[in-house]
Chain A
Amino acid sequence: MNLSKLNRILLQTLLLPVVALMVVSGVLVWQILSAKATVAQIQLADNNIATANYLSALIADQEAGIRGYQNTANEIFLQPYDFAVAPIQGSFARLHEGIAAQHGDTSQLDSLMAAHRRWVNTIAEPMIVMVRSGADTRDPGLNLRGKAYMDNVRGALASIVASQKYQRTLFVDHWQQQLRDTLIGIVVFALLTGLLIGLFARSRLHAVSGAFQDSLIKLRNNAQSTFENEQRLRAILAAIGDAVIVCDPRGSIELVNPVAQDLCGLNQESATGRNVGDVFRLLDENTHDPIPTPFEQVRDQRRLIGPSSHALLVRHDGTELHVDTSGAPIYDLNGDLAGIVLVFRNVSEQRRTQAALLASEKLAVAGRLAATIAHEIHNPLDAVVNIIYLLRQGSTPEEAAQFLEMAASELDRVTQISRAMLGMYRESRTPVAVDLEEVLSSVLLLLERRISDQQVTVNVTYAPGSVVTGFPAELRQVFTNLLTNALDVSATGSVIDVRTRPYSLRGGPAGFEVTVKDQGTGITLEDMAQLFQPFFTTKGEQGTGLGLWVSQGIVHKHGGSIHIDTNVTTEHHGTTIAVFLPFGAAVLPSEHGSGI
């Protein structure tokens, strides 16, 4: 039930009694009006009765006047008779009107008037004449007749009065009946209306109460599910291994889960309400410069950020942790930013493990080269040892000069090999200019024996001035990896093509690309997908599965990229690995030579 429906119901409940009262009032008015008519009838009857009584008195006056005159023959006694004549006529007329107004029967009145007229005409008037003429009026017959006529008059009058009284009684009864009916009507109507209002109000209130109950239940359910959801989310937040900070759009912290509390070095109470920038400070891993947090990025870009790494989190106590970070916006129903979630993870341990892996892979590369290197050193050493023996045995000066020349050239070879080997380890702390040709040549020198043993031909094509910025030892490691991989898959008599060329990524930096192309069997699609995963190897026990992973890491660190193109068809099988390295900042040809 919505608000407008509720309002309608309330209005209905309010209007119904008003309408009922108006109906009652109407009925009352009608009843009063009809009662008024009845009362008028009663008054009419009362008037008629009064008129009749008045008439009776007048007629009695006339009779008394006639009797007085008869006895005294004095005209004075005749006065009442004469005075009554006109009022009697008026009363007759009024009475006639009154009875006519009642729609009553005037025959009684007519007979009264007739009886009176007969008395006047046959008794009273002759009597007056007889008295005036002095005739004897004591005729018993006349007097008896006069009395009889007068009795008729009185009887007629009495019957009119009786009739009017009867009428009056009838109207009074009718009026009382009307009063009773009205009362009963009102009571019944009031009862019915009350009942109706009660029932209607009950049904309406029932609907309202039902809707209210529903709303309450819904509200309770909502509250319950909100509570459960919150508990669930809290449990998830508390249980997950990632650190989570939730803040409002202005950066005021609302929630810090236990992992985040641990990593930042503070608790929920001390963090709540603080600005996220005070608690969550990030530095660039390499430069130690402050970098924008995902909070700022999400706030400005209104989108999911990360996950990104290479950040250092400065803890409350000033210590630093390597973290991977990401951030996500929280939107309200209107699509406005309601908050921001920061998720981060301590990857310090992972970094240490990676560092250990990198170190071990570096050693493994050296280990794999050790046999070749031992061979490369032992051969010249053997020659030199033998030359010394021959010199000790005694030689002509010409022979000795030749021996020394040979020994010197053999020792040169040892020096070269040892330098190439050292180049794998001696590392500068900052990027320097690296001549790719020099790096590739020295790696190929270390692999020379293996290449010739395998009877593989290595064709090299160097573009002039192939200098990039980077860490020479790391790049040596990359190319040693790529070349040993190529040698591992190369069959006897096959060709490895190594070349450098200027290259620039579309819309990206310019630099050099080094390609190593072998004629091996190629890489299957399945293996391609996992090629750069750590510990993935196609060489079984012979491989660590770290070579390409480490190489990719190094190349990415240099701002470059590795791309692999492979072909497994029987005619054109082989793999080409292309490594792009940007020029970077320190490309000054005069500075190169940091390699061997």
Chain B
Amino acid sequence: MSVSGHLILCVDDEKVGLQVRRLLLERSGYRVLTAPDGPTGLKVFEDNPVEAVVLDYAMPGMHGGEVAAMMRQIKPEVPILLLSAYLGLPPEITQLVNVYMTKGEGAPALLDKLSSMFPDSKSTA
């Protein structure tokens, strides 16, 4: 398990899901910041040296696609992983992000895809 200590921002309106995801990532050695919605997420993203974003798609007010587009404008270099409970998101949204996956694929898949976004540290997760 990598203990690279990368700073990850998790944005999701599902409280339990977000809490569990945070624990999962922290156990894997990441440092984790969370936000319950898009606008908060953008603020945290702007204020902290976030190295990667795990973003939920379906959120009230501002969906993941919109959040990703704004993040790309602020810090285009930060990789984004888009999580969605919906299947088959439109390509113009999936093209915005580095990785797109559906919820429920399991923790190993998430960790694997997340670590793959950091070229410097080939994770063993």
A interface footprint on B1-43 (CB within 8 Å = 1, 0 otherwise): 0000000000001101101110110010000000000000000
Does B106 sit at the interface, judged by CB under 8 A?
A: yes
Residues of B within 8 A of A386 (CB): 17, 20-21, 24, 107, 110
A residues 372-386 near B (Cβ < 8 Å) are 374-383, 385-386
Give Cα A365 to B84, complex, Å.
Answer: 23
Does A453 sit at the interface, judged by CB under 8 A?
A: yes
Give Cα A381 to B14, complex, Å.
Answer: 12
Q: Is the CB of A379 within 8 A of B103?
A: yes
Q: Is the CB of A379 within 8 A of B24?
A: no
With A382-B103, A385-B107 as contacts: A375 and B16 at CB distance below 8 Å? no
Residue among B19, B86, B102, B103 facing the most chain A CB atoms (10 A cut-off):
B103
Nearest A-chain residue to B17, judged by Cβ: A383
Does A393 sit at the interface, judged by CB under 8 A?
A: yes
Does B85 sit at the interface, judged by CB under 8 A?
A: yes
Residue among A376, A403, A452 facing the most chain B CB atoms (10 A cut-off):
A452
Residues of A within 8 A of B20 (CB): 383, 386-387, 390, 403, 406
Give Cα A452 to B13, complex, Å.
Answer: 10
Return B124 CB to nearest CB of chain A, in Å. Answer: 14
Nearest B-chain residue to A450, judged by Cβ: B58
Q: Is the CB of B60 within 8 A of A453?
A: yes
Q: Is the CB of B86 within 8 A of A383?
A: no
Q: Is the CB of A375 within 8 A of B85?
A: yes
Give Cα A410 to B16, complex, Å.
Answer: 8
Q: Is the CB of A375 within 8 A of B107?
A: no
**Size band of the interface chain A makes with B:** 20 to 34
B residues 34-68 near A (Cβ < 8 Å) are 58-61, 63
Q: Is the CB of B16 within 8 A of A378?
A: no
Q: Is the CB of A389 within 8 A of B107?
A: yes
Return A121 CB to nearest CB of chain B, in Å. Answer: 184
Nearest A-chain residue to B27, judged by Cβ: A393
Q: Is the CB of A455 within 8 A of B60?
A: yes
Nearest B-chain residue to A394, judged by Cβ: B27
Q: Is the CB of B16 within 8 A of A383?
A: yes
Residues of B within 8 A of A162 (CB): none
A residues 319-361 near B (Cβ < 8 Å) are none
Q: Is the CB of A379 within 8 A of B14?
A: yes
Does B108 sit at the interface, judged by CB under 8 A?
A: yes
Q: Is the CB of B86 within 8 A of A374?
A: yes
Residues of A within 8 A of B17 (CB): 379-380, 382-383, 386
Residues of A within 8 A of B58 (CB): 375, 449, 453
Residues of A within 8 A of B59 (CB): 453
Q: Is the CB of B85 within 8 A of A389?
A: no
Does A176 sit at the interface, judged by CB under 8 A?
A: no
Residue in B60, B103, B108 whose beta carbon sits within 8 Å of that of A378 in the complex: B103
A interface footprint on B102-125 (CB within 8 Å = 1, 0 otherwise): 111111101000000000000000
With A378-B103, A385-B106 as contacts: A371 and B86 at CB distance below 8 Å? yes
Give Cα A443 to B114, complex, Å.
Answer: 37
Q: Is the CB of B24 within 8 A of A389?
A: yes
Does A143 sit at the interface, judged by CB under 8 A?
A: no
Return A458 CB to nearest CB of chain B, in Å. Answer: 13
Nearest A-chain residue to B110, judged by Cβ: A386
A residues 435-484 near B (Cβ < 8 Å) are 449, 452-453, 455
Residue among B14, B17, B19, B21 facing the most chain A CB atoms (10 A cut-off):
B17
Give Cα A385 to B85, complex, Å.
Answer: 13
Does A409 sit at the interface, judged by CB under 8 A?
A: yes
Nearest B-chain residue to A454, judged by Cβ: B60
Residue in A390, A409, A410 whose beta carbon sits within 8 Å of that of B24 in the complex: A390
With A375-B85, A452-B60 as contacts: A383 and B107 at CB distance below 8 Å? no
With A383-B16, A410-B16 as contacts: A378 and B104 at CB distance below 8 Å? yes
Give Cα A390 to B25, complex, Å.
Answer: 10
Q: Is the CB of A378 within 8 A of B102?
A: yes
Residues of A within 8 A of B13 (CB): 452
Give Cα A380 to B14, complex, Å.
Answer: 9
Please name the 9 residue pairs, one residue from A and one from B, whose CB atoms are nearest each other, closest first: A389-B107, A382-B103, A378-B85, A375-B85, A381-B104, A383-B17, A452-B60, A386-B20, A378-B103
Query: Told that A386-B17, A386-B107 touch, could you supply 11 new A-B pairs with CB distance under 8 A?
Result: A375-B86, A376-B85, A378-B86, A378-B102, A382-B104, A385-B104, A389-B24, A389-B106, A390-B27, A452-B60, A453-B60
Would you list 24 pairs from A and B whose C-beta atoms are within 8 A, ordered by A residue? A371-B86, A374-B85, A374-B86, A374-B87, A375-B85, A378-B86, A378-B103, A379-B14, A380-B17, A381-B103, A382-B17, A383-B20, A385-B105, A386-B21, A386-B24, A387-B20, A389-B107, A389-B108, A390-B24, A393-B27, A449-B58, A453-B59, A453-B60, A453-B63
Where the two chains meet, the residues of A that have a C-beta atom closer than 8 Å to any C-beta of B are 371, 374-383, 385-387, 389-390, 393, 403, 406, 409-410, 449, 452-453, 455, 492
